[in-house]
Copies of this chain bind each other. A is one copy, B any other.
Amino acid sequence: MQARIGDLAALLGGELIGDPEHTVVRLGTLERAEADTVSFLSNPRYQAQLATTRAGCVIVSAAMREAAAARVAAIVVADPYLAYARLSQWWAARLRERPAAGIHPSAVVEEGAIVAPGASIGALAFVGAGAVVEAGAIVSAQAHVGEGAFVGEGTVLKPRAMLAFGCRIGARGIVHGGAVIGADGFGFAPEAGRWTKIEQLGAVRLGDDVEIGANTCIDRGALDDTVVDDGVKIDNLVQIAHNVRIGAHTAFAGCSAVAGSTRIGRHCTIGGAANIVGHLEICDGVHISAATLVTASIRKPGHYTGVFPCDDHASWEKNAATLKNLHSLRERLRALEKKTS
């Protein structure tokens, strides 16, 4: 596959500096680019690489115009990172073949399931009775669509992804391998030292343009549904417990988790391995740092953190030991203050 950089500039709505006939065959990083590579600069951290890259064409912002033009062909755009995203989509669409429409002979599609024309059901996939797979949707090899589940138009369940019975995902979504949408929420009533199961009668509803990472779990609701709004992006190994509601365009990094019945607003970002306990309200526009535990509702947009700083082990050990007596340290300080006042 090859592309003229003049065509790429047109595609991205950018200004081309250089020969439009120059062709590239790859999209790559500045560091590893060759003359046949189109690359981009968005993270200032990598700016020094602009001077040394061998890339045949670099996508840059206006501020970088001169630095880029001095060396290689360039495409100047308002937002190079966004231009890179668009170009990656253009490239992927050309590099990767769409699976054929239709139902693979080894798949099991139960009676009463509706698979729209143009949808694709892969090898060894399962589609349960009463399920609906809309036009252009792809249920990949070994994926699972439970009884009565719904897969919206153009949504892709990657190999080994699972949408349990009665759950829904809207249009243009992606569910990666091993994700489990719709296992039971974790609910038990204590009864004389034992746990009595609370059957989870709700389901999971995912909006449009939602992406769910590999081996992520989103549990079905106890009574009402667990709800994930449009445009939410969830990374790998994330746990979303029952009855959680997540507002539109919020993103969860890998290994984060939200306990039951918590409501999270729109346009939030939850850092990797961050945890939010149950029954809280997190307003719109909240950003939680990696590995932070949130134990109280947050009603003001902003950036929140709670992490013990990493140190060499010996230093940590001394500080941690002192921390276990921090309260008495405060008392001693208070006593001194009194004494010297």
Contacts and interface: CB of A to CB of B under 8 A. Distances in A.
Interface of A: 27-29, 32, 45, 79, 81-82, 84-86, 88-89, 91-92, 95, 104, 106, 108, 110, 123-124, 126, 128, 141-142, 144, 146, 158-160, 162, 164, 174, 176-178, 180, 183-184, 186-191, 193-201, 209, 211, 213-215, 217, 219, 222-224, 231, 233, 235-237, 239, 241, 249, 251, 253-255, 257, 259, 267, 272-273, 275, 277, 279, 288-296, 302-313, 315-327, 329-330, 332-333, 336-337, 339-340
Given A275-B290, A302-B313, A333-B329, A251 B324 contact: no
A81 B189 contact: yes
> Which one of A273, A332, A333 has the greatest number of beta carbons of chain B within 10 Å?
A273
Nearest to A99: B147
Nearest to A278: B272
A131 B255 CA distance: 31
Contact of A310 (B84, B92, B306): B306
Contacts of A306: 307-311, 316
A89 to B, nearest CB: 5
28 contacts: A45-B279, A82-B196, A85-B188, A104-B108, A124-B126, A126-B159, A144-B177, A160-B162, A178-B215, A186-B253, A193-B249, A197-B211, A215-B237, A217-B236, A219-B236, A253-B259, A255-B255, A255-B257, A293-B310, A295-B310, A304-B316, A306-B309, A307-B308, A315-B327, A318-B327, A319-B326, A323-B323, A323-B326
Contact of A184 (B176, B255, B315): B176
Nearest to A288: B310
A158 B165 CA distance: 11
A309 B321 CA distance: 8
A176 B219 CA distance: 11
Contact of A304 (B142, B159, B257, B311): B311
B193 A183 contact: no
Contacts of A108: 104, 106, 123-124, 141
A310 B294 contact: yes
A241 B215 contact: no
Contact of A144 (B29, B159, B164, B319): B159
Contacts of A293: 273, 290-291, 307-308, 310
